[in-house]
Each structure stands twice: as C-alpha cells, then as structure tokens.
Structure 1
Amino acid sequence: MHICFITNEYPKLDFPHGGIGTFIHTISHKLVEKGHRVSVIGINSYTFTDEKEQDGDVFVHRLRPKIVKGLTWYFNNQLINKKLTEIHNQSPIDIVETSELGLAFIKKIKPIKYMIRLHGGHHFFAEAEHRKVSWWKGFQEKRSFKRADAFSAASQYVKSHTAKYLSYHNKPLEIIKFPINLNVFKPQLTTKVKKNSLLFAGTVCEKKGVEQLLKAMPKVLEHNENIQLYIYGRDWFFSDGRSYIEYLKKDVLPILGESANHVHFMGAISFIDLANKYAASEICIFPSLMETLGLVAPEAMAMNKLVIFSECGPGPEIIVHKKTGLLCNPYDIDDISNQIIWALNHEKECKVIAKNGMEYVLSNFEIETITQKNIDFYNTILNTPN
C-alpha cells in the first residue's frame, strides 16, 4: 500500500514542531517498517525552497511556497496537486490522508481514496478560542469534508464535537488513538527528578491554557515557595504577528509579582529531549482549554509521571481523576492551583496514580496495535465503493 500524507508539519531536523508532526513521523516510520510505502507532501514552512528529503524510507517533499496576495491558497494547492500527480504516476498512491481543511482544493485522482484525520479543525477550535468561524475557512472545511471518502478521529470527543458543525456524509468513520513511541517515552530510572519542578509542554498559545497556569502560580507558591514552572514549546503568533510568549511576558507575568521569577520559558526542543525533561520533572501539567486528544499527557504518563490534564474535551477519555492522573478545570485558576497543591501534599498516592497511568498508556497507546488499526481502516476504505 502507498499512503501519502498531505501536511506542512512533518518534522525537520533542528526545527520545532507540534503534535501533528510527531504523529505523522511516528506512524509513517511504523507503516514503512510493516512494508508499506509512505510519501509526505506539504508547503515548505521551514525554508523558502523546494526540498526533497528521504527520512529513512519516508519520502518527504517540501514545496517552495508561492506568495501571491489573495491567491496564495490557489497557487500552493496547484503545487500540491502537481506533486501528487507526479508521485502517483511514478508509484500509484492508494490512500491520501490529510487534516480537516486539506481536501478543499485537491484534485481527486481515481482510484485513490481520500481520508481526513481529525486533528482539530477551524470549526472545532473556534468555540474554545471564543472566536467566530471565518466564512472562508468554514467554506474550505465544509468543502473538504464533502470530498473525503472516510474520516478518522483520535477521540470520541473530537468525533462528536466536530459533528456539531460538520457532516461526515455517512462515510466510514473510525476512532483510532494517536500512538505513543514507547521506545522514547518510557521510565528513566537513572534520571534524577528535580524536586518541586512543574513542566508544561506544547505550543505556547491560548488554547493550551498557559495563561491560566501562570495565574495559578501565586497560590501554588503560597503553599510551596520553591516551586519552579518550566514551559517547553514553540511560540504562537496572533494574526497581527505578535508573539504569544511576548504577550505573556509583558502582560501576564508582571501582574504575578514575585511569582514571575518562578516561571521559565525554555523554548521548543526535540521529542527526545522532551522525554528527558519529562523524566526530570516532579509533576507534568497540561491545562488545555481544548484538545482533540493531546499527545503530551499520555507521553508523560508513559514515563511514570504524575500528570494533571484538562477535564475539558477528551481529558476524561485519557485520565480517570485520582486513579490514572488528575483532572483540572482549565478555566478555573483556583482549581488548577488546588490540583497542583494536592499532588504536592500526596506524594505516596501520586506514585500509585502515576503507575496506574503508565499501565493505562501501555495498554491503549501501543504503536503496533494502533498501526495495525490504521492499516485495517485503510483497507476498509479501499474496499468501500465510491
């Protein structure tokens, strides 16, 4: 089988990337290991050039973007369509997979089947970010969904929440979790844990609940003046180009008083380095306002770490409160601080909770099983009449 992912997110060495990139990288290499061919096509978001990279046996095509005021979307989709046709002519593609908006302007080629994997689209996140749906992006997403042959969702929540806004048109739909690379994210028995250290990882943006986490710090520090919060992740930018991290530093940290000295922005790091940071942290906290699944929580859980995750969205699908982790209300600053304080006060209980969380992830996010579920679903799509 030849699977082609359309995404700009495939990781490039020495550049930051997010959860989608981690997922595509992980699943691509496992598919190749199982004898399938994988290609990746995307507009180059790293450098302003055409690049062809062979990452192991994964073939990555990063296309030089064409910037034309008002028509960039058109010309960039033309580039992707041209590359798709070229690759298909060389080695016939069976499945094209992309995210929610990805099929809006893709020229469909028979007999290729086209699948959307729900990573959290424009409609999905509009509610969490308290913004109106853009008519243009909304149009693209609806058009893309009409053109899809099948859909995959990482959680029941993203499936049902997306259905509030968009139709699946009675096409095949499967819930398949994102896999965790358990060769990387595993307990590190020799790593020394930094006492009183909190870790946040993820894109530093509004929907990840970073601002609320910062505002919870004064109350936590009243309980324990030695707490340090380390924030790992790439920056996010407002539509006017302003940095979200700079916003936090200039507008949020100053109101925290002395607590601001206990907050450290560490920047984006590789997932290998991130595993080491998880291992060295006492508590990992991810108070997201909205997620499709959230890879960081199960990654940290796989490393036998106590995780505080959001009770919103798919949080309860991943964590049973005080059994496999802790859940917090990310909109309630007091609840965020109370969960951290509870964890600091209940070290013995948290060790049991962390162990339960690790066992849950080992049973439910194992890459071999999840990869096979994807392969089985691809075969279902291929055998479904148009």
Structure 2
Amino acid sequence: MHICFLTNEYPKEGFPHGGIGSFVKTLAVALVKKGIRVSVIGINYTLNDETETVDGVRIYRLKPSNVKMISWYFNFKAINKKIKEIHKDYPITIVEASELGLAFIKKIKNIKYIIRLHGGHHFFAESENRKVNKWKGFQEKRSFKNSDAFIAVSQYVKSHTEKYLSYNDKPVSYIYNPINTALFQPIIKEIPASKIVFVGTVCEKKGIRQLIQAFPLVKKEYPDATLEIYGRDWFFPDGSSYTQLLKEKELPRLAEIASHIHFHGPVPYTEIPNVYAGASICVFPSHMETQGLVAPEAMAMEKAVVFTQLGPGPETIENYKTGLLCDPHSPADIAEKIIWIFANREKAIEMGKTARQVVLEKYGLEHIVFQNIDFYNM
C-alpha cells in the first residue's frame, strides 16, 4: 500500500504550520511504522523544489508559481506531474487531501481519491458568519465530485458540511484525528498555581480575544494568574497582524494586568508537551472546530481543560467529568470555568486523570491507525 497526502502544511523546521500539518505528520509516521509507504506532496514555503525523507516519510515540496492570478493553475499542474512521476515508480493506492485539495487533480486509474473533512471553506464561512467566496466555493464543490470517499473527523463536521455540500452518495466514515499519547503523556514538574495556557493559531475563530477579555475577571479572584499564549500569528488580507491588533486594541484596556499576558509565538511540535506540562489549566475557547487537536492533546497529559461547548466540543469532553465546556463568545463564562478549576484543584486533578484514559481509548494512535488502514483497504 502506498498513501500519498496532498498538503502544503507538512511541518518544516523554521516555518509555522497548522493542525492539518500536525495531523498528517502523526498519521504518516505511524503508517510507515506499519510497513506502509507514505508520500507527501505540497507547495513549498520557499521558492525552490525540495525532496527529503524524514521518519520514513517521503516529502516533496514543490516550487510555488509566481504567476499572478493563475498561480493556482501552475501549482496544481506541478502537483499532478509529481503524482504521475511517483506513481510510475511506486504505484499509489490512495491520494488523500482536505476539502479543496482535489479540485484540479487529474484522476489516475486504480488510485482511490479521498477527502478528509478537516473543515473546508463552506464549513468555516457559515460558522464565521461570512459570505462564501465564489471561487473557493467552486473549487470545493469540484473537489467533492472528484473524491471517491470521505473521512469525517467528527460527527459534527460531517453533518455540518452536508448542509452545504453533497457527498454524492459516496462512502463516508468517521475516524477521529489521532493523538500521539506517547508524546503527550503526563510530565511531572513544578508549575505555578494559576498559569493559564492557550495553544493554537492566534486568530478570532480560536476565541483568543474573548479569553483575553475573561482574564481580568480571573485576576480579581486569583491575582497571581498569568495568561501564556502560544501559536502562530494570523494575518488579515492586507497583511496586518491579528496579534498586533490584540496588543493595540485589547491589552491597553487591561491597564497594569496586561503585563501578565505573554505572547510566545509558535513553538516546535515536539516542544508542545512541555508547554502543556507547565500549565495549571489549558483553555481553548474556539468559536468553531472540526475536532481540534489541542484539547485531547492536553487531556492526554492529564491537564484540566476548558474547551468550547460549540461544534464537536461535547464529542470531545464530558462536562465536569473529563474537562469543562464554555460558551466561547462569553468572556464571563470562560472566566467562570477557569475560576472553577482553580477553586476545585483536587477535582481538576481527578478530571485530568479520567481525561487521559478517555483519550487513550478514543484517540489513541495505535487504534486510529488501524481504523485508517481498514478504510484504505475498503
């Protein structure tokens, strides 16, 4: 079996990546360990072609086109060419991409094409209350028609997506994103009593603005509290920074307590467990997720977690048993849940231990890898 993932986000040292990149890396390395050949094709972060093998995964980063307006055409042309080249030498069984990834892929006989629902353009346009971009919407619909089957990472993303896009009566399977519970496991270390940690892209849909607005309410009850923010910045279409917007618009309103909010920027994936390990509580008040990796990662480390009550939140956390769910649009509710954790530390420790057991059973890498292999063999 030979699996070929199409993504531009596969982790590359020195460059930030998102949840899809983390997911593909975790699954790809695990598949290689099961004797499966894995290739990854994507457009490079830099203006050159690169090929490397890391942890047994063959990674092909293609030079991006700089032709204005139609760079997408030349990028897809390069991806199609590379798929054909690889398939000639090592026949590909499966080509897998996210929602828009198959829009202009030329199908080759005997290759099965799969879309994994990570949250596409229609999904997030609706959840963020913005209009569907006609060009992206067209690509997504075309991509769905090209797919032979679909994998939904949660029940929510499957049902929410089908409100806007058709699966065209093709197979759909539920497979959660895996968590590497060997990497994300409890680390014993001394930590501050009231250290709040957020990990994720620093953008509006991750709820970081509401978390910052909740912070003064927490500080009233726990004056020693700090808010530690880890993750890559997000940029508006005009190139301006969302992090800078928060620093200019939100932090000045907090007066002297603003100095207790720290932006650390992105950290390497392998360092994230140390970030969680130093947290008293991990808070992820996302406005919308398909599944989300950060909450179960922190849960796997026996951390007290506050996650969103929206979307797949209730699929991930059983409220007050494996963590707490919050209204991500309400700073007051976010603060209330954080304060509850600080006020009930023994219960929080018990929740964390229960949470890890649930993650091992539900998101454990070994179990999820075999679910994927079974699906690929269908």
The Cα of 1:287 is off from its aligned counterpart by 0.2
Report if aligned partners of 1:204, 1:245 keep a CA contact under 8 Å in 2.
Answer: yes
Paired residue type of 2:350: V
* CA deviation string 1:269-318 (max 9, x = no partner): 01221101101110000000000101000000000100000001100001
Distance in 2 between residues matched to 1:256 and 1:141, nearest whole Å: 42
In 2, Cα distance between the equivalents of 1:359 and 1:269?
26
Q: SS of the counterpart of 1:151?
A: strand
1:384 is matched with none
CA offsets per residue over residues 295-352 of structure 1, 9 Å max, x none? 0000000001000000011000010110110000001111001101111111111111
- Please say if residues 129 and 206 of structure 1, whose CA atoms lie closer than 8 Å, have aligned partners that are also in contact: no
The offset of 1:15, in angstroms, is: 2.5
Deviation digits for residues 212-247 of structure 1 (CA, Å, limit 9, x no counterpart): 100111111111111000000011111111111111
Instruction: Give the counterpart letter for 1:94 in structure 2.
Output: T
Number of the residue aligned with 1:63:
62
Normalised TM-score (structure 2):
0.99
| Larger CA deviation: 247-256 vs 328-337 | 247-256
Counterpart of 1:123 in 2: which secondary structure? helix
What SS does the aligned partner of 1:114 have? strand
Q: CA deviation at 1:127?
A: 2.0
| CA shift for structure 1 position 259 | 2.6
Q: Which one of 352, 370, 373 corresponds to residue 372 of structure 1?
A: 370
Distance 1:313 1:66 in 2: 36
- One-letter amino acid of the counterpart of residue 4, structure 1: C
1:29 alignment counterpart: 29
> Within 1, Cα distance between the matches of 2:255 and 2:93?
57
**What is the CA distance between 1:13 and its match in structure 2?**
2.1
State the shift of 1:264 in Å. 0.4
Structure 1 unpaired stretches of 5+: 381-386
**Aligned twin of 1:176:** 175
8 Å contact kept, 1:201–1:286: yes
SS in 2 for 1:372: helix
Q: What does the per-residue CA deviation read over 1:165-218, in whole Å, with 9 as the maximum and x for residues that have no partner?
A: 1010111110100111111100012x2122210000011111100011001111
Structure 1 stretches (4+) deviating beyond 6 angstroms?
none
Percent of paired sites with the same residue: 57
Q: Which residue of 1 aligns with 2:302?
A: 304
CA contact (8 A) 1:5 1:98 kept: yes
Residue 251 of structure 2 aligns to a residue whose secondary structure is helix
Amino acid at match of 1:354: G
Post-superposition CA distance 1:125-149 (Å, at most 9, x none)? 1122221100000000001001100
Whole-Å Cα distance in 1 between the matches of residues 62 and 279 of structure 2? 39
Question: For residues 181 and 51 of structure 1, what CA distance do their matches in structure 2 show?
Answer: 27
Query: How far apart in 1 are the matches of 2:251 and 2:128?
Result: 21
Which residue is equivalent to 1:288? Answer: 286
Counterparts of 1:185 and 1:32, CA distance in 2:
20
Question: Which residue is equivalent to 1:20?
Answer: 20
The range that moved more, 10-19 or 203-212, is 10-19
| 3-state SS of 1:313 partner | coil
- Corresponding residue of 2:39: 39
1:56 Cα deviation (Å)? 2.3
1:140-168 Cα shifts (integer Å, max 9, x gaps): 00010011000001100001001111010
SS of alignment partner, residue 255 of structure 1: helix
2:315 is aligned, of 307, 314, 317, to 317
For residues 343-379 of structure 1, what are the alpha-carbon distances to aligned partners after superposition, in whole Å with 9 as ceiling and x for unaligned?
1111111111111111111111111110000000011
2:155 alignment partner AA? Q
SS in 1 for 2:95: strand
**Cα RMSD after superposing both structures:** 0.9
Residues of 1 paired with 2:18 and 2:76: CA distance?
22
Secondary structure of the residue aligned to 1:194 is coil
**Alignment partners' CA distance in 1, 2:267 and 2:49:** 25
| Secondary structure of residue in 1 paired with 2:237 | coil
Alpha-carbon distance in structure 2 between the residues aligned to 1:65 and 1:171: 33
TM-score normalised per structure 1: 0.97
Match of 1:91 in 2: 90
C-alpha distance in 2 between matches for 1:252 and 1:178: 34
Deviation (angstroms), 1:3: 0.4
- Structure 1 CA distance for aligned equivalents of residues 157 and 57 of structure 2: 28
Aligned residue type for 1:36? I
Q: Describe the superposition over 1:253-278 as per-residue Cα deviations: whole angstroms up to 9, x where unpaired.
A: 11222231111000100122110110
Q: Distance in 1 between matches of 2:183 and 2:16?
A: 18
Contact 1:197 1:230 in 2 (8 A): yes
Deviating more after overlay: 341-350 vs 289-298: 341-350
In 2, distance between residues paired with 1:258 and 1:311? 31
**C-alpha separation between the residues in 2 aligned to 1:162 and 1:129?**
14
